[in-house]
């Protein structure tokens, strides 16, 4: 089972489950680890030092940290479609069968030929690419850029569709807590006890934060025991919810927080019916940020050698995972906290090679320990590292007095102090403030409702973390209205924290500030020299802090160095703007369920399933699926089907589902007055039982929408909109009702879904409808004239509405039934219409017939046309005010040379016409000046047996009969068309009135 | 020092100690022929063209923070000239031609990368609209191709062709479109303009206009003192209304927040710039490897330079709908810029009713691609007191006259443009 | 953003759509072209507190007049539009 | 003369399959029931007629219509707040039809029949809140959304009316949803996807309970 001995695993201890051994593979080699390991801890236990290559120079890199701030140990996790590039080994939970591969190297991690870049490093300084690759100009896209792109980037994305599912959810609480360290748990205790609804998010899979590695005594018991007692108490509180594997990544307005939960990332793949990750939008009245602090490196030559590790990470690997990064380890610290590492290492039986402390005043207790244990304490700084891809061999020390020393060690723990995690508190563009005693930025302001506690606020002692967390939790609960008894706060001692600021040590060789992006101290100096002194310029010029770790370990050091070289203080130099997310979030999680066919909801018409049974081809129209045509056996293409449908309507009878039109009930004594203000024409004088075509403008005078509105009762109109504008028109009408004309007594309701509506058209329409409609209803031209509208009874007792309106130009009715009868209606139409050869037709045939009739639709109502452009200028009432009236009169909107709707047909009857072709005067060479319009809508007219279309053409209506060019260079076509009357069919309208 | 591989190599011998400031750190003089407010791409480009094309070198660019700290440094770096309406078409092509020679003009590698911009279509109506637009481009001498489904599949086999809610049917391709390195454009113009005499004055915030008895603007009050000016040009994008208000002007502009996003750096995945036609999503991949993407504006007036989750989610939904392969790619950073959304979605470059004050504004979310063109035509206006012929329709009075340039056809509602 | 709808209570941003500045008032029927132009096109575009029209499209479909700070997105008041609640007029 | 029938067809007729869905190895955490036969009338007060409408409502139902987001039940109808000056009357099919209500409210309100415009789905079970948290941005905590609480809100960018009915016999909360008919099938699939991990018991009820 176990392929490689875990040579760097301690015999006992740690929070791993030794009864659950796991196998995993890294770069093709099989290793063993335990449940409770991360990939990083398991690699360390297996003595793997080299885990990755840097971005620019391809330097060999090892594991630097034990958390989400990791810049180096990025791997491609999983394989095939589940491959995840740039995955931090330090936060990847080990599972059995895990496969990971190093990235950004070729051909292998140990022998990376791209490391040749290091030879060019004298030239590859910050911003070098802005100064070169310019000649010859053509070479950029052809040669330089592809090479740069291949070399850049880190891991490889899968390149195929992500097979996993994601979802999103909402959560609410009074107090949201980020982090489960001492401050976070104390905050949860206080808030939970006071009765607040609490959500605590912890990005780790284990709770306790630094307590997991650094222990300590709380309330007189070991920290681990306190954590488990605390969790047990929290579990008894009904409204406290602990979410592990969940990272709070951003704070948005109104107390909305973004978090993502790695629901099943600790498994090879999610179980059936489960998601990989879930995006949470947490709405919280208050938020306590107890996200801790991040230990910062010190910039010295060779500080990127594998085996150089943050001191706290060393402790985490040893204490939490029982994995030893080194056997003989040196410590380089400038602060008291670093010394904990000595205790942890000695406790695990490791050798201490030396402690290099930049502070002159190391305590007597430490010196005594050193003396007893037998390791030197050197007052000075590490100035160089002798080592390579297999790790550290020796370190050079610049002693305070100027002398040098060398120390043999196979690992170096570094502590440059701690930076509070100020991300969340700074995401509303609040800048953190500098705090001298810890030499770090701490939150100054925070988004409304948020407060930082514990190390995140700069309090590094355990006692202080507990006190602050508890107080913040209690205060948050109280301000959210919960005043329950919070009981006694947990108590612990405060360790002393002393630090001598140290950012950079002089030495030979590259000294890295931003490990992942290979930004060195000299890059920062160069940036300063070239005038990129502002931190935002520094960041952009050197790419400092722009890597996947967002500069968590590098930003402060970088600006400290900039401050030094530009002779300013660190607070004067300032920070860049902090931007979410706190850690990178999978795009899949942010999309959730909304992908593939679930990208947007789907609307189905009442006859949808019937149409599907007929084999209809559907087209997406907004969210709707509409039957586009109904192919029949033997038809060779869509055109043949559509031609048949058109001919069937023009020669007999057909029907089409038009339920997608927006339908609005307009009620109330002032309904007519209201419509007069929103339409350009008059509706108050419309007789009950009549329908009228109406045109609406936007306030800027352009046509907004059109449709037929019927008066069903004195105080009840039934308004229809186009399919596309159903929602926007409803919103617009509500605006008119509620904001512009509040004095009118009018009520609006969408009834779009209440009615199944069908256009029944063709000379045999009346014959068909007589089969459907109760015989007592008079459908004759006298009894139900053109533009009549009224309720009728259908055979079988169903109440329906009939509208004698026609889009097709034929004798036609639209018939509406309550939607649940829509399916029955089509089946009955088919049954009753068999004798008349009734033919269902789709949106294509509908479109053909409207073009034959010259009716405008979406392509002409394009938001830049006026009523007059559409040939409907005469509808505009001069006797009343209406929305858009005044602006419609502006000079350019009434100019004589506007493009107006006209018919077009190729002079060669056999030629196909295409939408989007431009209109150019005949005989002229196309150019900007003579581009006079374009073809908006086309169809093959089976009625006229040729392609026809509508076009918007300058002064078009004055030019009927003129031959012009249809110019279509995109499709390589150029042909003559005749400008003609847009009403190609039955221009006097006799058929629809008959 | 001229930038080249040779100068780089030479400098390497001295440990790069010989490099000078990229642009001079100028202090304000008492008077300039032209003062440009706004040290973004447009302001700096204007100064460069004033000095290089129109011979006016006594020019200052005033920047309240550090140059490029506004929208020039926060955009998705796309360049294109695929517009459909007279006024826009010619102007953006002028700009495109200037992009094509930018590196040689400025001696600065702005990484202009013409790897193609494709607008995908998902319906016949959309195809027809793109056909109209593409033909407009062709008639104006701009490259455009209408691709069918097969051609799109060949070019981008990784799109969702299997189970898309709104299947891709084709696209309008402009091969000369692409991206440029946004910060480098700012630094390149600063570098070149400074070298021929333009003063770039950072940390200099304008607090008011100096007017003479006739109301003519004769200078500006700033945080670094009063600065006299023969003419003052505004190129302050999202701050246009605020600065114009100092001169008593109200503009047909609203400021809105537009978010943009970048993913972690990955090896080359997406070869071009693409826009999804059935949702709010567009994407390209930077030279560094990050997917740079965005979508719709948040939709409400804002000067906060940050957005909210609904749009962030909407954009990622669009991304996953089009490119289901990016599910496991991680979003690294989100940011927001202030867009000067005009009432017809098109820019305004004109004199204002206040004598001596000139306006360059209303770029909506499309200002980056316009940078060189905007600089040239604004410089022309400032130098000659006449509209450049390729910007003749960007007049301020077009709204009053009704001659809007409304590509989307949504009217006087900025958040719909 | 969260908006406290006076009818529905606090709701998330996604339920609302934005129209724009609520300060301009639609001129009377006899207004000049200049006045209407001003109403339709010119905006103060305030950086700071401003009142705006929002529509609770995904909720009760009330138009709301919201006072909001465009620098911080902080909302200080939400009122129904004039025509909402007309049933109680005169009561 | 052709013989034809007028079968009423629910917008969920095609999508709904009674029985188990999703995870099978656990006790279903979600119960989803479509209720088919109901009348639904939108009542909108006319200008200045709030008092008259209130009187008419009391006369008709023996109680006031809610003027807060609540759903209140009378013996044969549930009155669901749906916006300022308006409410929905939900009743068993045929009990409170347009014809009946237009008599009752003719002087005070505008009425619109929505009986065919919506599908009615009830959600309950131990995981009902967890599932609805994926669909709805409403806080459904028992204190925040007690019995009779109602919301006009959106799911999947689609308007819905959501209210909490009386608890089930086993004490589990019941959430009722009115969704637009043309979106119903799409939303139904979205609901099933959200519920699948908890195990779903799908049922059909011809009558309003």
CB A455 within 8 A of CB A469: no
Q: Say whether both D120 and D95 belong to one domain.
A: no
Q: Which of A556, A302, A339, A571 is nearest to A444 (CA)?
A: A571
B114's CB contacts (< 8 A; 6+ apart) are A141, B100, B175, B176, B177, B178
Q: How many domains does chain D have?
A: 2
CB atoms within 10 A of CB A596: 15
Is domain C2-83 in CATH 3.30.2270.10, yes or no?
Answer: yes
Q: Tell me if A86 and B265 make a contact (CB, 8 A cut-off).
A: yes
Say how many Å lie between the first and final Cα of chain A, rounded: 88
- Domain architecture of chain B: domains with CATH: 25-107+182-252+344-416 (3.50.50.60), 117-176+254-342 (3.30.9.10)
Query: Residue D4 pLDDT > 80, yes or no?
Result: no
Interface mutation vs chain B, best among C3, C45, C48, C51, most B CBs within 10 Å: C45
Indicate yes or no: CB of C45 within 8 angstroms of CB of B343.
no
The answer to whether residue C91 scores a pLDDT higher than 80 is no
Residue D6 falls within a domain, yes or no?
no
Stretch A408-418: mean pLDDT? 98
Q: How far apart are CA A16 and CA A182, in angstroms?
A: 21
CATH number of A663-750: 3.30.70.1400
List helix spans (H) across B4-148.
5-13, 41-52, 88-100, 102-106, 124-139
State if pTM tops 0.80: yes
- Chains in contact with B, where contact means 3 or more Cβ–Cβ distances below 8 Å, are A, C
Residues A465/A271, Cβ–Cβ less than 8 Å: no
Nearest-5° Cα angle at B399, B396 to B400: 95
A143 touches chain D (CB under 8 A): no
Question: What confidence tens digit (pLDDT) does each residue in B127-144 have?
Answer: 999 999 999 999 999 999
- Residues 169-208 of chain D whose Cβ lies under 8 A from any Cβ of chain A: 180-183, 185-187, 189-190, 193-194, 196-197
Chain A residues with CB-CB distance to B7 below 8 A: 131
Record the tokens describing residue C25, joined without a space. 């008032």
**Full residue range of the structural domain in which residue D74 is found:** 38-113
CA B246, CA C45: separation in Å to the nearest integer?
13
Contacts of C8 in chain D (CB under 8 A): 69, 151-153
Whether C85 has a pLDDT exceeding 90, the answer reads no
The whole-angstrom separation of Cα A737 and Cα A747 is 8
Mean pLDDT of chain D: 95
Question: For the residues A317-324, what does the mean pLDDT come to?
Answer: 98
CATH of domain A298-415: 3.50.50.60
Token match 């969260």: residue? C2
Determine the residue of chain A that is closest to B190 in CA distance.
A531
Looking only at the bridges linking them, the beta strands covering A411-415 and B225-234 are: unpaired
| Radius of gyration for the alpha carbons in chain B, expressed in angstroms and rounded | 21
Answer whether residue D1 shows pLDDT above 70.
Answer: no
Domain boundaries, chain C: 2-83
Average pLDDT over residues A317-331: 98
Asked whether the beta carbons of A745 and A670 are under 8 A apart, the reply is yes
**Residue D89 contacts residue D101 (beta carbons within 8 Å):** yes
* Interchain proximity D153–C8, CB inside 8 Å: yes
Centre a 10 Å sphere on the Cβ of residue A1 and count the other Cβ atoms it contains.
7
DSSP letter at A511 equals B
Chain D residues close to A272, C-beta within 8 Å: 23
**Mean pLDDT, residues A304-311 taken together:** 98
Least confident of A138-152, B53-67, C34-48, D188-202: A138-152
CATH of residue D101's domain is 3.30.70.1520
CB contact under 8 A, B312 and A864: no
Chain A residues 109-128 with a CB less than 8 Å from chain D: none
pLDDT at A284: 98
Tell which CATH classification among 3.30.1360.120, 3.30.160.270, 3.40.50.720, 3.40.50.1820 matches the domain A609-659+759-850.
3.30.1360.120
Residue A840 pLDDT: 98
**Per-residue pLDDT tens for B354-364?**
999 999 999 99
Residue A151's pLDDT band, with cuts at 50, 70 and 90, is confident
- State whether residue B301 sits within 8 Å of chain C by CB: yes
User: Is D10 inside a domain boundary?
Assistant: no
Angle, to 10 degrees, between the axis of helix B182-195 and the axis of helix B41-52? 30
Residues D58 and D151 in one domain: no
In a domain, D188, yes or no: yes
Place of tokens 């284990």: A206
Domain match, D78 and D149 both: no
Q: What is the CA radius of gyration of chain D?
A: 18
- The answer to whether residue D136 neighbours chain C at the CB level (below 8 Å) is no
Q: What is the ipTM of this complex?
A: 0.98
Q: Which of A127-136, A204-213, B107-116, D124-133 has the lowest mean pLDDT?
A: A127-136
Q: Does C86 touch chain B (CB under 8 A)?
A: no
Short-list A644, A640, A648, CA closest to A762? A648
- What is d(CA A52, CA A77) in angstroms, rounded to the nearest whole number? 13
Classify residue A275 by its DSSP letter: -
pLDDT at D209 over 80: no
Same domain, D109 and D136: no
Q: Is A361 exposed, middle or buried (0-12, 13-18, 19+ CB in 10 A)?
A: exposed
Q: Are residues D89 and D25 in the same domain?
A: no
CATH of region A896-993: 2.40.30.110
Residue D89 lies in a domain: yes
Share of residues in chain A with pLDDT > 90 (%): 95
List chain A residues with CB under 8 Å of C6.
none
Tell me whether residue D182 is in a domain. yes
Of C2, C55, C84, the CB nearest to A731: C55
Residue B1 pLDDT exceeds 80: no
Residue of B nearest to C19 (CA): B413
Percent of chain B surpassing pLDDT 90: 98
Evaluate if residue A546 carries a pLDDT over 50.
yes
Where among D51, D85, D113 does a domain terminate?
D113
Residue A969: what pLDDT? 98
Q: Measured between CB atoms, does A874 come within 8 Å of chain D?
A: no
D14 located within any domain? no
The per-residue pLDDT for D2 is: 52
Distance (Å) from the alpha carbon of B414 to chain A's nearest alpha carbon: 13
Residue C46's pLDDT is what? 97
Q: List chain C residues with CB under 8 Å of D47.
A: 86-87, 89
Q: What is the pLDDT of residue A4?
A: 56
The answer to whether D52 touches D85, Cβ cutoff 8 Å, is: no
A503-568: CATH topology: Arc Repressor Mutant, subunit A (1.10.10)
Q: Which of C1, C41, C71 sits opposite B343 (nearest CB)?
A: C41
Shared domain for D24 and D122, answered yes or no, is yes
Checking if the pLDDT of D93 tops 50, the result is yes
Owner of token pair 């009734």: A838
D13: how many CB neighbours lie within 10 A of its CB? 18
Contact D186 A604 (CB under 8 A): yes
| Residue-wise pLDDT tens digits, B222-239 | 999 999 999 999 999 999
pLDDT at A115: 87
Residue of D nearest to C83 (CA): D47
- Chain A hits for B164, CB-CB cut-off 8 Å, are 596-597, 599
Q: Kindly determine whether residue C57 and residue A281, on different chains, have CB atoms separated by under 8 Å.
A: no
Residue with tokens 């316009």: B370
Residue of C nearest to A742 (CA): C83
Is residue D147 domain-shared with residue D80, that is, in the same domain? Answer: no
Residues of A in contact with C55 (CB under 8 A): 731, 734-735
> Which residues, including other chains, have CB under 8 Å from residue A681's CB and lie 6 or more apart?
A692, A694, A695, A875, A876, A877
C-alpha angle with apex D51: D49 to D53, nearest 5 degrees?
Answer: 65
Domain with CATH 3.30.70.1400 in chain A: 663-750
Pick the CATH number of A166-293+421-479 from 3.50.50.60, 3.40.50.720, 3.90.1640.30, 1.20.140.10: 3.50.50.60
Outline where DSSP puts E strands in A421-495: 433-435, 440-442, 450-452
pLDDT of A974:
96
**Alpha carbons B23 and B108: distance in angstroms, whole number:** 12
Other Cβ atoms less than 10 A from the Cβ of A96: the count is 14
CATH number at residue D154: 3.30.1360.120
Residue A1 pLDDT exceeds 60: no
Q: How far is it, in rounded angstroms, from Cα C59 to Cα A958?
A: 50
- What pLDDT was estimated at residue C89? 86
Across A130-144, B136-150, C44-58, D146-160, least confident range:
A130-144
List pLDDT tens digits, range B299-327: 999 999 999 999 999 999 999 999 999 99
Give yes or no for a cis peptide into A136 (omega within 30° of 0). Answer: yes
CATH of the structural domain A1-161, one choice from 2.60.40.10, 3.40.50.300, 3.10.20.440, 3.60.70.12: 3.10.20.440
Q: What token pair was written down for A933? A: 């319009």
Residues D169 and D122 in one domain: yes
Q: D113, D148, D180: which is the final residue of a domain?
A: D113
Are residues D66 and D148 both part of a single domain?
Answer: no
My answer on whether D201 and D122 are in the same domain is yes
- C12 lies within 8 A of chain B by CB: yes
From chain D, pick out residues whose CB is under 8 angstroms from the CB of A773.
none
The band of A723, judged by pLDDT with boundaries at 50, 70 and 90, is very high
């Amino acid at each position: 089972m176990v392929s490689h001995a875990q040579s760097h695993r301690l015999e006992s201890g740690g929070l791993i489950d030794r009864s659950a051994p796991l196998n995993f593979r890294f770069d093709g080699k099989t290793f063993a680890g335990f449940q409770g390991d991360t990939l990083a801890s398991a690699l360390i236990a297996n003595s793997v030092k080299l885990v990755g290559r840097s971005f620019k120079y391809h330097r060999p890199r090892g594991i630097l940290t034990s958390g989400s701030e990791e810049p180096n140990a990025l791997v491609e996790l999983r394989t095939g479609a589940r491959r995840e590039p740039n995955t931090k080994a330090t936060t990847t939970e080990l599972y059995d069968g895990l496969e990971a591969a190093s990235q950004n190297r070729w051909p292998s991690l140990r022998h990376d030929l791209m490391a040749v870049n290091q030879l060019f490093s004298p030239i590859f300084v910050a911003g070098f690419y802005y100064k070169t690759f310019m000649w010859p100009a053509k070479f950029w896209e052809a040669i330089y850029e592809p090479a740069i792109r291949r070399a850049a980037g880190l891991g490889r994305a899968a390149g195929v569709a992500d097979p996993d599912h994601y979802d999103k959810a909402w959560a609410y609480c009074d107090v949201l807590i980020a982090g489960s360290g001492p401050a976070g748990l104390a905050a949860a205790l206080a808030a939970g006890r006071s009765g607040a609804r609490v959500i605590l998010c912890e990005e780790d899979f284990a709770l306790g934060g630094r307590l997991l590695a650094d222990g300590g005594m709380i309330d007189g018991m070991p920290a681990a025991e306190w954590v488990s007692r605390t969790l047990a108490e929290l579990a008894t509180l009904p409204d406290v919810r602990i979410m592990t594997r969940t990272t709070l990544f951003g704070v948005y307005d109104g107390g909305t927080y973004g978090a993502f939960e790695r629901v099943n990332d600790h498994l090879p793949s999610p179980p059936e019916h489960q998601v990989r990750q879930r995006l949470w939008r947490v709405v919280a009245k208050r938020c306590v940020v107890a996200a801790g602090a991040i230990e910062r490196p010190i910039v010295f030559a060779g500080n990127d050698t594998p085996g150089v590790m943050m001191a706290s990470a060393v402790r985490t690997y040893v204490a939490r995972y029982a994995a030893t990064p080194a056997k003989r380890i040196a410590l380089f610290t400038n602060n008291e906290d670093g010394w904990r590492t000595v205790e942890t290492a000695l406790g695990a039986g490791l050798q201490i090679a030396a402690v290099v402390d930049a502070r002159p005043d190391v305590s007597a207790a430490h010196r005594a320990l050193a003396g007893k244990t037998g390791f030197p304490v050197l007052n000075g700084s590490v100035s160089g590292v002798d080592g390579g891809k297999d790790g550290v061999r020796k370190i050079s020390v610049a002693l305070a007095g100027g002398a040098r020393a060398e120390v043999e060690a196979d690992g170096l723990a570094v502590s440059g102090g701690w930076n509070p995690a100020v991300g969340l508190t700074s995401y509303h563009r609040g800048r953190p403030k500098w705090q001298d005693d810890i030499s770090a930025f701490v939150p100054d302001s925070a988004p409304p409702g948020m407060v930082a506690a514990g190390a995140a606020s700069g309090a590094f002692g355990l006692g202080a973390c507990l006190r602050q967390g508890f107080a913040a939790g209690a205060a948050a609960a109280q301000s959210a209205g919960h005043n329950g008894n919070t009981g006694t706060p947990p108590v612990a001692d405060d360790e002393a924290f002393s630090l001598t600021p140290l950012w950079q040590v002089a030495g030979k060789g590259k000294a890295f500030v931003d490990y992942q992006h290979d930004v060195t101290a000299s890059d920062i100096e160069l940036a300063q020299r070239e005038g990129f002194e502002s931190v935002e310029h520094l960041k952009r010029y050197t790419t400092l802090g722009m890597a996947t770790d967002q500069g968590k370990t590098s930003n402060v050091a970088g600006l400290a160095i900039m401050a030094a070289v530009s002779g300013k203080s660190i607070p004067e130099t300032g920070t860049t703007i902090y931007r979410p997310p706190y850690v990178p979030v999978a795009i899949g999680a942010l999309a959730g369920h909304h992908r593939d066919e679930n990208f947007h909801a789907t609307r189905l018409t009442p006859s949808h399933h019937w149409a599907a049974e007929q084999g209809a081809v559907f087209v997406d129209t907004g969210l709707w699926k509409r039957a586009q045509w109904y192919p029949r056996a033997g038809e060779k293409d869509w055109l043949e089907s559509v031609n048949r449908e058109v001919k069937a309507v023009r020669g007999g009878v057909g029907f089409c589902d038009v339920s997608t039109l927006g339908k609005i009930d307009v009620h109330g004594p002032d309904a007519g007055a209201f419509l007069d203000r929103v339409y350009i024409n008059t509706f108050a004088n419309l007789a009950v039982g009549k329908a009228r075509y109406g045109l609406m403008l936007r306030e800027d005078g352009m046509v907004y929408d059109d449709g037929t509105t019927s008066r069903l009762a004195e105080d009840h109109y039934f308004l229809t909109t186009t399919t596309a504008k159903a929602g926007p028109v409803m919103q617009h009408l509500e605006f008119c009702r509620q904001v512009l004309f509040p004095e009118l007594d009018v009520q609006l309701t969408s009834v779009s879904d209440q009615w199944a509506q069908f256009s029944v058209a063709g000379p045999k329409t009346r014959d068909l409808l007589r089969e459907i409609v109760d015989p007592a209803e008079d459908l004759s031209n006298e009894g139900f004239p053109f533009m009549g509208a009224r309720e009728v009874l259908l055979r079988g007792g169903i109440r329906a509405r009939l509208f004698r309106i026609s889009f097709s130009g034929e004798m036609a009715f639209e018939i509406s039934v309550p939607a649940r009868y829509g399916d029955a209606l089509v089946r009955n139409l088919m049954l009753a219409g068999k004798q008349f050869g009734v033919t269902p037709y789709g949106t294509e045939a509908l479109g053909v017939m409207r073009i034959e009739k010259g009716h405008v639709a979406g392509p002409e109502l394009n938001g830049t046309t006026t009523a007059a452009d559409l040939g409907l200028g005469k509808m505009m009432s001069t006797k009343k005010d209406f929305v858009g009236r005044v602006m419609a009169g502006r000079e350019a909107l009434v100019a004589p040379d506007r493009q107006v709707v006209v018919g077009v047909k190729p002079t060669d009857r056999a030629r196909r016409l295409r939408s989007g072709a431009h209109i150019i005067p005949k005989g002229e060479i196309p150019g900007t000046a003579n581009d006079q319009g374009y073809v908006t809508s086309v169809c093959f007219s089976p009625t006229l047996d040729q392609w026809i279309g509508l076009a918007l053409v300058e002064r078009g209506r004055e030019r009927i009969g003129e031959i012009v060019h249809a110019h279509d260079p995109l499709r390589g076509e150029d042909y003559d068309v005749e400008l003609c009357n847009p009403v190609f069919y039955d221009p006097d309208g006799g058929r629809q009135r008959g | 020092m001229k930038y080249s591989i040779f100068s780089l190599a030479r400098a390497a011998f001295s440990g790069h100690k010989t490099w000078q400031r990229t642009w001079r750190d100028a202090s304000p003089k008492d008077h300039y022929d032209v003062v440009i407010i706004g040290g973004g791409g447009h302001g700096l480009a204007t100064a460069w063209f004033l000095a290089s094309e129109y011979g006016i070198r006594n020019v200052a660019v005033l920047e309240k923070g550090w140059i490029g700290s506004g929208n020039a440094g926060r955009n998705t770096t796309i360049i294109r000239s695929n517009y459909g309406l007279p006024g826009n078409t010619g102007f953006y092509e002028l700009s495109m031609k200037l992009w094509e020679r930018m590196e040689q003009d400025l001696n600065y590698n702005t990484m202009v990368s013409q790897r193609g911009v494709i607008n995908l279509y998902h319906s016949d109506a959309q195809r027809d609209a793109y056909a109209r637009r593409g033909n407009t481009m062709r008639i104006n001498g701009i490259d455009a191709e209408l691709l069918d489904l097969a051609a799109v599949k060949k070019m981008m086999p990784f799109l969702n062709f299997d189970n898309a809610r709104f299947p891709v049917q084709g696209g309008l391709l402009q091969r000369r479109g692409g991206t440029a390195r946004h910060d480098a454009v700012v630094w390149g113009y600063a570098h070149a303009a400074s070298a021929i005499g333009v003063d770039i004055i950072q940390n200099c915030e304008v607090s008011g206009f100096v007017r003479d008895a006739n109301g003519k603007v004769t200078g500006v009050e700033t945080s670094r003192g009063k600065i006299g000016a023969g003419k003052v040009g505004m190129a302050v994008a999202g701050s246009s209304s605020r600065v114009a208000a100092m001169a008593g002007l109200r503009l047909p502009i609203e400021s809105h927040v537009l978010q943009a996003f970048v993913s972690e750096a990955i090896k080359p995945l997406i070869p071009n710039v693409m826009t999804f036609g059935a949702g709010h999503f567009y994407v390209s991949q930077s030279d560094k490897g990050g997917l740079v993407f965005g979508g719709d504006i948040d939709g409400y007036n804002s000067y906060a330079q940050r957005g909210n989750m609904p749009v962030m989610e909407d954009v990622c939904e669009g991304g996953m709908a089009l490119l289901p392969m990016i599910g496991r790619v991680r979003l690294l950073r989100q940011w927001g810029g202030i867009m000067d959304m005009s009432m017809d979605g098109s820019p305004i470059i004109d004199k204002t009713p206040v004598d001596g004050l000139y306006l360059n504004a209303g770029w909506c979310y499309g200002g980056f691609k316009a940078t060189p063109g905007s600089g040239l035509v604004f410089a022309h206006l400032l130098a000659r007191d006449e509209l450049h012929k390729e910007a003749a329709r960007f007049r301020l009075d077009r709204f009053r006259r009704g001659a809007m340039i409304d590509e989307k056809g949504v009217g006087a509602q900025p958040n719909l443009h | 953003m969260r908006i406290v709808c006076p009818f529905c209570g606090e709701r998330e941003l996604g339920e609302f759509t934005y129209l724009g500045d609520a300060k301009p008032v639609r001129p009377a029927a006899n207004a000049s072209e200049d006045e209407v132009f001003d109403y339709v096109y010119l905006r103060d575009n305030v950086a700071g507190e401003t009142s705006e029209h929002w529509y609770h499209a995904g909720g009760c479909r009330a138009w709301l007049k919201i006072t909001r700070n465009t620098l911080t997105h902080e909302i200080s008041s939400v009122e129904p539009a004039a025509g909402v609640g007309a049933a109680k007029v005169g009561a | 003369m052709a013989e034809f029938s007028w079968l009423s067809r629910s917008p969920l007729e095609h999508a709904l399959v009674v029985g188990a869905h999703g995870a099978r190895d656990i006790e279903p955490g979600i119960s989803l029931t479509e209720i088919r036969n109901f009348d639904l009338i939108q009542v909108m007060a006319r200008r200045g007629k709030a008092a008259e409408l209130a009187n008419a409502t009391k006369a008709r139902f023996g109680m006031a219509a809610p003027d807060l987001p609540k759903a209140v039940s009378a013996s044969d109808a549930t009155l669901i707040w749906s916006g300022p000056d308006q409410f929905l009357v939900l009743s068993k099919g045929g009990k409170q039809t347009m014809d009946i209500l237009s008599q009752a409210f003719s002087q005070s309100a505008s009425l619109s029949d929505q009986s065919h415009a919506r599908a009615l789905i009830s959600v309950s079970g131990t995981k009902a809140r967890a599932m609805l948290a994926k669909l709805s941005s409403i806080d459904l905590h028992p204190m925040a959304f007690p019995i009779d609480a109602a919301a006009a809100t959106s799911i999947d960018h689609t308007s819905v009316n959501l209210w909490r009915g009386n608890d089930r016999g086993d004490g589990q909360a019941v959430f009722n949803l009115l969704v637009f008919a043309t979106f119903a099938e799409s939303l139904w699939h979205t609901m099933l996807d959200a519920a699948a991990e908890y195990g779903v018991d799908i049922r059909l009820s011809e009558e309003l309970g």
